[in-house]
Structure 1
Amino acid sequence: MVKKMSWIALFSVLILYFLSFYSLYSNMNNQWLIVPPAYVMLVFSMFALALAILGFKDRSNNFAKLRSWISVILSSVLIFLLLVVVSFTAIFSGSKVLLETTHSPDQHYTLKFYKTDAGAMGTFGIVGELQGPLWFRKVVYSERRVDQVDLEWSDNHTVVINDHQVNLLLEETWIPQ
């Protein structure tokens, strides 16, 4: 069982790194966010660190020690990075208040609109997120210096938001630069 712990720790740390980099990529390119929130990733990386430390009990060969050291170092770095991310978003994210939730006429799409306010560090605005299963979401609409949302569904997959048309079937977004 101890041998398995060091392998599980190594593979879980590598998977957590992959998920973290994918989260960064999807945030930068406005793709679907399929990764759990950063604080959940932080808990899993702490669990991986605990497994890696328990993996030091495996004294069968030098590779087992090396595997445990790699897992401990990688998970410690990941914990530090995720702590920075969680702290940064907690301090600088501003407020986000749910304004409205709407469903498409066929109930296939769910859009949630939030009023955002960055306070002294930015401006206020509206953000519309397309909700997927579990915690999956994608930003499909964002507009600054607007504090209310006026929307109307044209058909089952097209919505007009503040006079801007977004076709969800074609995965269109309306986010000004």
Structure 2
Amino acid sequence: MEKRYNLWSFYLIIVCLGLAAYSLYSNIENAWLIAPPNYILLLVSVIVFILGIKGFKDKRNWQVQTRSWLTVILSFLLSIVLILAILLSLFASSLEANEHIETVHSPDGNYTIDFYRFDAGAAGSFGVRGELDGPLWVKKRIYYQKRVEQIEVEWENNTTILINNHILNLKDGDTYGY
């Protein structure tokens, strides 16, 4: 039984590290955010830590023991990083006021975009951002404009949208304002 704890915890931490790295990349590059929220990754990382500790009972050879140590260390470090990321996002969201402006749907209903007004107060700027919805928690920021409070949205066709005089072709993956 300990053999499975050791192996599965190692595989889970590799997947969790990959998802956390992709989450960071997608936030920097405004790509599709397909990774689950940070609190889900934190939960998986804590479970991996527990499974990694249970995996120490498997003492077949030095590779198995090294894998257990690697799993426990990586899951512990990832948990700390995720806790800091969650605290930072909570702190930043308390400083930055986010207000949902509107949700628009394409004429054929295939695309849904949520628009938010943001205001960081004295700590930063204000403006509007638009996020294209995908399945589950998947989102992609497609529009970001500072020092604007209102938006004007008009669909040209099923895949092309005009936002504050900026044309975006969603089929081609166009974005604005980065």
Q: Which residue of 2 aligns with 1:150?
A: 152
Question: How far 1:138 sits from its partner (Å)?
Answer: 0.7
Q: Which residue of 2 aligns with 1:91?
A: 91
Q: Which residue of 2 aligns with 1:124?
A: 126
Given the alignment of the two structures, is residue 159 of structure 1 paired with residue 161 of structure 2, yes or no?
yes
Segments of 4+ moved more than 2 angstroms: 59-64
| TM-score scaled by length of structure 1 | 0.95
Structure 2: distance between partners of 1:136 and 1:77: 26
Question: How far 1:115 sits from its partner (Å)?
Answer: 0.9
Question: How far 1:59 sits from its partner (Å)?
Answer: 2.5
Structure 1: distance between partners of 2:65 and 2:136: 38
Structure 1, 138-147 or 86-95: larger mean CA deviation: 86-95
Partner amino acid, structure 2, of 1:90: L
Structure 1, 22-31 or 165-174: larger mean CA deviation: 22-31
Question: How far 1:22 sits from its partner (Å)?
Answer: 1.2
What runs of 5+ residues in structure 2 fail to find an aligned partner?
Answer: none
Q: Which residue of 2 aligns with 1:16?
A: 16
Structure 2: distance between partners of 1:3 and 1:97: 50
Q: Secondary structure at the match of 1:27?
A: helix
Partner amino acid, structure 2, of 1:58: D
Structure 2: distance between partners of 1:16 and 1:137: 19
Question: How far 1:10 sits from its partner (Å)?
Answer: 0.7
Question: How far 1:60 sits from its partner (Å)?
Answer: 2.6
Report the aligned-residue RMSD.
1.2
Q: Which residue of 2 aligns with 1:61?
A: 61
Structure 2: distance between partners of 1:121 and 1:92: 10
Question: How far 1:120 sits from its partner (Å)?
Answer: 2.1
Q: Which residue of 1 aligns with 2:72?
A: 72
Structure 1: distance between partners of 2:144 and 2:91: 22
Structure 1, 132-141 or 90-99: larger mean CA deviation: 90-99
